[in-house]
């Protein structure tokens, strides 16, 4: 069987999503039965170039270098995956609502824009992707399954339900109702198996909003009735997904 060629392209981010691939540990060898990795800076200095069957992009477009690399990744990959919330929604570095000039000045003083920075945006704002797997970081089981499916010619399925569903299936206590914690589970895309609720924490929305019938106004009202301020709630909603409408 011909192995598929795989490349991982890393834009500006914390490195967590690329590192998380290595945390597949021995299951990486299962993937290597189907894939030959041509580019993966976190793990290797190899840089094959040329065409890839599958490209994975992590990070936000935060500089002209990122934008050039993203376009190259799109042009050179048959199947392109946005991996992690930086790539799918913009994540933390895109959450600060301040003109780019002011941000640069606050950090670097009057030196202008030596790194050719751009306003941080998710990759899906610039190019079409074939699959988006959010999460900060994403659930590595989801990535593993998606890559195995692609290798076998099956289109990966993605969750279409909120975190609350997984929370209920696991019979976790509702921290919103019982403790008044500001849990965003009702409006956040599931797929993480409600891992934060298992630890007694509220969901902070790291997988981004549930597309479709999501009701942020209802969640907003519930949090307001619990005593949270409007600014706090709006900031919380925008922490991981400011670029969502
Ligand atoms: S999504 Fe989160 S873990 Fe992944 S690169 Fe961005 S900040 Fe890091
Ligand atoms: S704890 Fe959060 S995710 Fe779980 S049911 Fe309550 S609101 Fe939903
Ligand atoms: S429970 Fe919420 S914050 Fe925690 S991993 Fe899942 S989506 Fe992210």
What backbone torsions phi and psi does residue 6 show, to the nearest 5 degrees?
Answer: -125, 140
Query: Whose structure tokens read 């392209």?
Result: 9
What's the gap in Å between 133 CA and the centre of ligand 2?
Answer: 21
Ligand 3 centroid from CA 65, angstroms: 30
Grade residue 111 by pLDDT with cuts at 50, 70 and 90: confident
Q: How confident is the model at residue 91 (pLDDT cuts 50, 70, 90)?
A: very high
End-to-end CA distance of the chain: 44
What are the structure tokens assigned to 29, written together?
């060898």
Q: Where are the beta strands (DSSP E) in 59-176?
A: 61-63, 77-83, 117-121, 131-133
- Whose CA is closest to atom 4 on ligand 3? 196
174 Cβ inside 6 Å of ligand 2: yes
The confidence score (pLDDT) of residue 107 equals: 86
Q: pLDDT-derived band of residue 77, with 50, 70 and 90 as boundaries?
A: very high
- Domains of the chain in start order, with CATH, are 4-151 (3.40.50.700), 163-238 (no CATH)
Q: Which two tokens stand for residue 70?
A: 């993203």
The mean pLDDT value for 166-188 works out to: 97
* Percent of the chain whose predicted confidence (pLDDT) is above 90: 85
Its pTM stands at 0.95
CB of residue 16 inside a 6 A radius of ligand 1: yes
Residue 102 alpha carbon to ligand 1 centre in Å: 24
Q: Which tops the pLDDT comparison, 109 or 78?
A: 78
Burial of 1 (0-12, 13-18, 19+ CB in 10 A): exposed
pLDDT at 245: 63
The CA-based angle 182-188-191, given to 5 degrees, is 125
**How much helix, strand and coil, in percent to the nearest 5, is found in the chain?**
40, 20, 40
Confidence check: pLDDT of 214 > 90: no
The Cα 111–Cα 107 span in angstroms is 10
């Amino acid at each position: 069987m011909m192995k598929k060629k795989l490349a991982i392209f890393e834009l500006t981010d914390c490195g967590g999503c690329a590192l998380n691939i290595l945390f597949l540990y021995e299951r990486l060898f299962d993937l290597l039965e189907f894939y030959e990795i041509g580019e993966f800076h976190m793990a290797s200095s190899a840089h094959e170039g040329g065409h890839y069957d599958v490209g994975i992009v992590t990070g936000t477009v935060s500089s002209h270098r990122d934008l050039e690399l993203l376009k190259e990744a799109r042009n050179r990959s048959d199947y392109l995956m946005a991996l992690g919330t930086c790539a799918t929604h913009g994540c933390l570095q895109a959450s600060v609502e301040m003109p780019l000039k002011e941000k640069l000045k606050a950090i670097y003083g009057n030196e202008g824009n030596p790194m050719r920075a751009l306003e941080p945006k998710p990759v899906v704002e610039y190019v079409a992707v074939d699959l988006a797997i959010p999460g900060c970081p994403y659930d590595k089981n989801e990535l593993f399954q998606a890559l195995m499916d692609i290798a076998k010619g099956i289109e990966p399925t993605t969750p279409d339900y909120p975190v609350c569903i997984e929370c209920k299936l696991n019979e976790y206590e509702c921290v919103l109702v019982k403790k008044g914690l500001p849990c965003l589970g009702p409006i956040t895309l599931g797929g993480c198996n409600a891992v934060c609720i298992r630890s007694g924490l509220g969901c902070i929305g790291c997988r981004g909003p549930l597309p479709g019938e999501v009701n942020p106004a209802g969640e907003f009202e519930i949090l307001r009735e619990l005593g949270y301020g409007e600014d706090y709630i709006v900031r919380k909603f925008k922490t991981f997904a400011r670029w969502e409408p």
